[in-house]
Amino acid sequence: MHPSHELMSRMVEDPEAVLARRLEVARQSGVPEEALRRYAAEHGKDSALQPGVVGPIVPDRELVSGVTVGTDLGEWVAYETPGHSPSHVCLFQPERRLLISGDHLLGRISLYFEYGYSPDPVGEFLSSLDVVQRLGARLCLAGHGRTFTDVHAHIEGNRTLVREQLERTLQALADGPLTAFEVATRVAGDSLSEQNAHWLISQVLAGLTHLEAVGEARRLPGDPERWAA
Protein backbone atom coordinates (compact mmCIF):
# COMPACT_ATOMS: atom_id res chain seq x y z
CA MET A 1 0.00 0.00 0.00
CA HIS A 2 1.16 3.54 -0.62
CA PRO A 3 2.44 5.18 2.60
CA SER A 4 0.03 8.14 2.27
CA HIS A 5 -3.02 6.12 3.28
CA GLU A 6 -4.03 8.35 6.21
CA LEU A 7 -7.36 9.33 4.66
CA MET A 8 -8.67 5.77 4.29
CA SER A 9 -7.16 4.61 7.57
CA ARG A 10 -8.81 7.44 9.50
CA MET A 11 -12.15 6.82 7.81
CA VAL A 12 -12.05 3.24 9.11
CA GLU A 13 -10.56 3.94 12.53
CA ASP A 14 -12.45 7.13 13.44
CA PRO A 15 -15.28 7.99 11.02
CA GLU A 16 -16.73 10.55 13.45
CA ALA A 17 -13.48 12.57 13.34
CA VAL A 18 -13.55 12.44 9.53
CA LEU A 19 -17.15 13.67 9.54
CA ALA A 20 -16.28 16.49 11.98
CA ARG A 21 -13.40 17.60 9.75
CA ARG A 22 -15.63 17.49 6.66
CA LEU A 23 -18.24 19.64 8.39
CA GLU A 24 -15.60 22.18 9.50
CA VAL A 25 -14.20 22.48 5.97
CA ALA A 26 -17.74 23.03 4.69
CA ARG A 27 -18.46 25.65 7.37
CA GLN A 28 -15.25 27.52 6.53
CA SER A 29 -16.28 27.30 2.87
CA GLY A 30 -19.50 29.19 3.60
CA VAL A 31 -22.01 26.33 3.47
CA PRO A 32 -25.22 27.49 5.25
CA GLU A 33 -25.67 26.23 8.83
CA GLU A 34 -29.02 24.57 8.11
CA ALA A 35 -27.47 22.48 5.34
CA LEU A 36 -24.63 21.49 7.67
CA ARG A 37 -27.10 20.37 10.35
CA ARG A 38 -28.98 18.21 7.82
CA TYR A 39 -25.73 16.69 6.56
CA ALA A 40 -24.55 15.95 10.10
CA ALA A 41 -27.87 14.29 10.96
CA GLU A 42 -27.86 12.18 7.81
CA HIS A 43 -24.22 11.09 8.25
CA GLY A 44 -24.25 10.99 12.04
CA LYS A 45 -23.13 8.33 14.46
CA ASP A 46 -25.47 5.59 13.26
CA SER A 47 -24.46 5.89 9.61
CA ALA A 48 -21.23 7.88 9.75
CA LEU A 49 -19.34 7.52 6.49
CA GLN A 50 -19.35 3.73 6.70
CA PRO A 51 -16.65 2.73 4.18
CA GLY A 52 -17.67 -0.93 3.96
CA VAL A 53 -14.31 -2.01 5.35
CA VAL A 54 -14.07 -4.40 8.33
CA GLY A 55 -10.91 -2.76 9.65
CA PRO A 56 -7.58 -1.20 8.69
CA ILE A 57 -4.86 -3.40 7.24
CA VAL A 58 -1.25 -2.43 7.95
CA PRO A 59 0.81 -2.93 4.77
CA ASP A 60 4.09 -4.84 4.97
CA ARG A 61 5.43 -3.33 1.75
CA GLU A 62 5.19 0.26 0.54
CA LEU A 63 3.85 0.61 -2.97
CA VAL A 64 5.88 3.52 -4.36
CA SER A 65 7.43 4.38 -7.71
CA GLY A 66 9.78 1.68 -8.97
CA VAL A 67 8.37 -1.18 -6.91
CA THR A 68 7.60 -4.23 -9.08
CA VAL A 69 4.86 -6.81 -8.65
CA GLY A 70 5.44 -10.22 -10.22
CA THR A 71 2.57 -11.97 -12.03
CA ASP A 72 2.10 -14.65 -14.70
CA LEU A 73 1.99 -11.79 -17.24
CA GLY A 74 5.38 -10.53 -16.10
CA GLU A 75 6.35 -7.73 -13.77
CA TRP A 76 4.14 -4.68 -13.21
CA VAL A 77 5.92 -1.47 -12.25
CA ALA A 78 4.35 0.96 -9.77
CA TYR A 79 4.13 4.68 -10.56
CA GLU A 80 2.96 7.18 -7.96
CA THR A 81 0.17 9.29 -9.48
CA PRO A 82 -1.20 11.61 -6.78
CA GLY A 83 -4.04 14.02 -7.50
CA HIS A 84 -7.28 12.11 -7.20
CA SER A 85 -5.85 11.01 -3.86
CA PRO A 86 -2.38 11.54 -2.35
CA SER A 87 -1.94 7.74 -2.15
CA HIS A 88 -2.89 6.96 -5.76
CA VAL A 89 -0.68 4.51 -7.66
CA CYS A 90 -0.85 3.16 -11.21
CA LEU A 91 0.67 -0.15 -12.34
CA PHE A 92 2.24 -0.62 -15.78
CA GLN A 93 3.23 -3.82 -17.60
CA PRO A 94 5.87 -2.59 -20.07
CA GLU A 95 6.12 -5.64 -22.40
CA ARG A 96 2.37 -5.61 -23.12
CA ARG A 97 2.00 -1.86 -22.47
CA LEU A 98 -0.92 -2.45 -20.12
CA LEU A 99 -1.88 0.20 -17.57
CA ILE A 100 -3.95 -0.39 -14.44
CA SER A 101 -5.03 3.21 -13.90
CA GLY A 102 -7.35 2.97 -10.87
CA ASP A 103 -9.12 6.32 -10.53
CA HIS A 104 -6.40 8.35 -12.26
CA LEU A 105 -7.82 7.72 -15.75
CA LEU A 106 -11.40 6.54 -16.13
CA GLY A 107 -13.39 5.30 -19.10
CA ARG A 108 -15.62 8.37 -18.71
CA ILE A 109 -13.60 11.56 -18.22
CA SER A 110 -14.49 12.74 -14.73
CA LEU A 111 -12.51 14.57 -12.05
CA TYR A 112 -12.35 14.21 -8.30
CA PHE A 113 -9.69 15.65 -5.99
CA GLU A 114 -9.42 14.71 -2.33
CA TYR A 115 -9.00 18.14 -0.78
CA GLY A 116 -6.96 18.87 2.34
CA TYR A 117 -4.46 16.00 2.37
CA SER A 118 -1.79 17.46 0.06
CA PRO A 119 -0.70 21.00 -0.91
CA ASP A 120 -2.01 21.11 -4.50
CA PRO A 121 -4.08 18.11 -5.69
CA VAL A 122 -4.83 19.68 -9.09
CA GLY A 123 -1.16 20.40 -9.80
CA GLU A 124 -0.27 16.89 -8.65
CA PHE A 125 -2.92 15.40 -10.93
CA LEU A 126 -1.59 17.31 -13.96
CA SER A 127 1.96 16.13 -13.20
CA SER A 128 0.66 12.56 -12.86
CA LEU A 129 -0.92 12.82 -16.32
CA ASP A 130 2.57 13.60 -17.64
CA VAL A 131 3.94 10.51 -15.87
CA VAL A 132 1.33 8.24 -17.43
CA GLN A 133 1.65 9.79 -20.88
CA ARG A 134 5.36 8.97 -20.99
CA LEU A 135 4.58 5.27 -20.49
CA GLY A 136 2.92 4.94 -23.90
CA ALA A 137 0.23 2.50 -22.73
CA ARG A 138 -1.84 0.82 -25.46
CA LEU A 139 -4.61 -0.50 -23.19
CA CYS A 140 -5.94 0.99 -19.97
CA LEU A 141 -7.81 -0.94 -17.27
CA ALA A 142 -9.58 1.67 -15.17
CA GLY A 143 -11.05 1.45 -11.69
CA HIS A 144 -14.51 2.33 -13.08
CA GLY A 145 -16.00 1.76 -16.50
CA ARG A 146 -14.78 -0.24 -19.45
CA THR A 147 -11.22 -0.67 -20.69
CA PHE A 148 -10.04 1.63 -23.45
CA THR A 149 -7.21 1.94 -25.96
CA ASP A 150 -7.25 5.68 -26.70
CA VAL A 151 -5.15 6.43 -23.64
CA HIS A 152 -3.60 9.61 -25.03
CA ALA A 153 -7.06 11.02 -25.85
CA HIS A 154 -8.21 10.37 -22.29
CA ILE A 155 -5.14 12.14 -20.92
CA GLU A 156 -5.80 15.17 -23.12
CA GLY A 157 -9.50 15.09 -22.21
CA ASN A 158 -8.60 15.30 -18.52
CA ARG A 159 -6.23 18.21 -19.14
CA THR A 160 -8.97 20.04 -21.06
CA LEU A 161 -11.54 19.44 -18.32
CA VAL A 162 -9.15 20.73 -15.63
CA ARG A 163 -8.46 23.84 -17.70
CA GLU A 164 -12.19 24.46 -18.22
CA GLN A 165 -12.96 24.08 -14.52
CA LEU A 166 -10.17 26.49 -13.56
CA GLU A 167 -11.43 29.02 -16.12
CA ARG A 168 -14.98 28.82 -14.73
CA THR A 169 -13.61 29.31 -11.21
CA LEU A 170 -11.69 32.41 -12.27
CA GLN A 171 -14.77 33.78 -14.02
CA ALA A 172 -16.73 33.35 -10.80
CA LEU A 173 -14.08 35.25 -8.83
CA ALA A 174 -14.59 38.23 -11.15
CA ASP A 175 -17.73 38.97 -9.07
CA GLY A 176 -15.50 39.87 -6.12
CA PRO A 177 -14.32 38.00 -3.00
CA LEU A 178 -16.42 34.84 -2.62
CA THR A 179 -16.58 31.82 -0.34
CA ALA A 180 -15.86 28.45 -1.91
CA PHE A 181 -19.57 27.65 -1.56
CA GLU A 182 -20.48 30.81 -3.49
CA VAL A 183 -17.98 29.87 -6.19
CA ALA A 184 -19.52 26.38 -6.37
CA THR A 185 -23.01 27.83 -6.84
CA ARG A 186 -21.76 29.92 -9.76
CA VAL A 187 -19.71 27.12 -11.33
CA ALA A 188 -22.35 24.40 -10.93
CA GLY A 189 -25.54 26.46 -11.25
CA ASP A 190 -28.72 24.41 -10.93
CA SER A 191 -26.77 21.13 -10.79
CA LEU A 192 -25.61 21.86 -7.21
CA SER A 193 -27.55 19.75 -4.72
CA GLU A 194 -27.13 18.31 -1.24
CA GLN A 195 -26.25 14.99 -2.87
CA ASN A 196 -23.27 16.35 -4.83
CA ALA A 197 -22.30 19.40 -2.72
CA HIS A 198 -19.38 17.68 -0.98
CA TRP A 199 -17.96 16.53 -4.32
CA LEU A 200 -18.41 19.95 -5.97
CA ILE A 201 -16.99 21.95 -3.08
CA SER A 202 -13.96 19.64 -2.94
CA GLN A 203 -13.39 20.32 -6.65
CA VAL A 204 -13.74 24.07 -6.16
CA LEU A 205 -11.41 24.12 -3.13
CA ALA A 206 -8.82 22.07 -5.01
CA GLY A 207 -9.10 24.45 -7.97
CA LEU A 208 -8.80 27.54 -5.77
CA THR A 209 -5.76 26.07 -4.04
CA HIS A 210 -4.13 25.44 -7.42
CA LEU A 211 -4.93 28.96 -8.63
CA GLU A 212 -3.38 30.24 -5.40
CA ALA A 213 -0.25 28.15 -6.03
CA VAL A 214 0.20 29.62 -9.53
CA GLY A 215 -0.54 33.18 -8.38
CA GLU A 216 -3.98 33.63 -9.96
CA ALA A 217 -6.09 33.61 -6.78
CA ARG A 218 -5.59 34.62 -3.16
CA ARG A 219 -7.09 33.44 0.08
CA LEU A 220 -8.71 36.00 2.38
CA PRO A 221 -8.70 34.73 5.98
CA GLY A 222 -11.95 34.98 7.86
CA ASP A 223 -14.91 33.03 9.12
CA PRO A 224 -15.87 31.94 6.58
CA GLU A 225 -12.81 32.12 4.36
CA ARG A 226 -13.11 33.98 1.06
CA TRP A 227 -11.19 34.00 -2.21
CA ALA A 228 -10.33 36.73 -4.72
CA ALA A 229 -8.69 36.81 -8.15
The answer to whether residue 47 sits within a structural domain is: no
* This prediction's pTM: 0.91
User: What is the per-residue burial (b if ≥16 Cβ within 10 Å, else e) of 190-226?
Assistant: eebeeeebbebbbbbbbbbbbbeeeeebeeeeeeebb
Angle 143-148-152 from CA coordinates, rounded to 5°: 105
Neighbours of 47 (CB within 10 A): 11
Q: Which neighbouring-strand residues pair with 27?
A: none
> Quick one: pLDDT at residue 155?
98
Identify the band that residue 48 occupies on the pLDDT scale cut at 50, 70 and 90: very low
Task: Tell me which of 21-25, 43-47, 106-110, 178-182 is least confident.
Answer: 43-47
pLDDT above 60 for 49: no
Angle between helices 197-213 and 15-28 (to 10 degrees): 60
Comparison of pLDDT for 162 and 7, the residue scoring more = 162
The answer to whether residue 7 sits within a structural domain is: no
Say which residues have a Cβ less than 8 Å from residue 119's Cβ, sequence separation at least 6. 209, 213
User: Cis peptide before 224, with omega less than 30 degrees from 0?
Assistant: yes
The answer to whether residue 33 sits within a structural domain is: no
pLDDT above 90 for 18: no
CATH number of residue 210's parent domain: 3.60.15.10
The answer to whether residue 150 sits within a structural domain is: yes
pLDDT above 70 for 45: no
The answer to whether residue 29 sits within a structural domain is: no
Identify the band that residue 182 occupies on the pLDDT scale cut at 50, 70 and 90: very high
The residue segments making up the domain with residue 177 are 68-228
pLDDT digits (tens, 9 = 90+) for 82-93: 999 999 999 999
Tally of structural domains, the chain:
1
> Quick one: pLDDT at residue 50?
60
